[in-house]
């Protein structure tokens, strides 16, 4: 019985972690907002950058596009850093 409860606990944690990632499709987000407020981890965002010319770049300088709730991509380098708006909405690169 103990092993059954361990398996159920593991399954609940795993599915909770997957469901926690969320973003509004067609919005752009700075990495810090995705990590702090949208359930993504640094590892998630670094995985998105793997194999691209942005791999290994500082996440604070990357703008991510939300393709679907919980799915980001189309990363863009912001030379001056990423700019968070004061309200929910698309982020942008700093001038």
Confidence band of 2 (pLDDT split at 50, 70, 90): low
Place of tokens 């679907």: 68
The region of weakest confidence among 3-12, 41-50, 71-80 is 3-12
Confidence band of 4 (pLDDT split at 50, 70, 90): very low
For 14-70, what is each residue's pLDDT tens digit? Answer: 444 455 899 999 999 999 999 999 999 999 999 999 999 999 999 999 999 999 999
- Using a CB cutoff of 8 Å and minimum separation of 24, what contacts does 52-59 make? 59/31, 59/32
- Pairwise CA distance, residues 6 & 51, whole Å: 37
The domain segmentation of the chain, as residue ranges, is: 22-93
pTM metric for this prediction: 0.75
Distances from the Cα of 21 to the Cα of 2, 13, 90, angstroms: 30, 13, 17
């Amino acid at each position: 019985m103990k092993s059954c409860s361990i398996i159920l606990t593991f399954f609940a944690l795993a599915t909770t972690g997957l469901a926690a990632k969320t973003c509004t499709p067609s919005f752009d987000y700075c990495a810090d907002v995705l990590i702090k407020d949208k359930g993504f981890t640094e590892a998630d965002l670094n995985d998105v950058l793997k194999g691209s010319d942005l791999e290994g770049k500082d996440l604070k300088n990357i703008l991510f596009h939300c393709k679907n709730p919980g799915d980001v991509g189309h990363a863009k380098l912001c030379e001056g850093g990423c700019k968070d708006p004061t309200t929910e909405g698309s982020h942008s690169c700093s001038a």
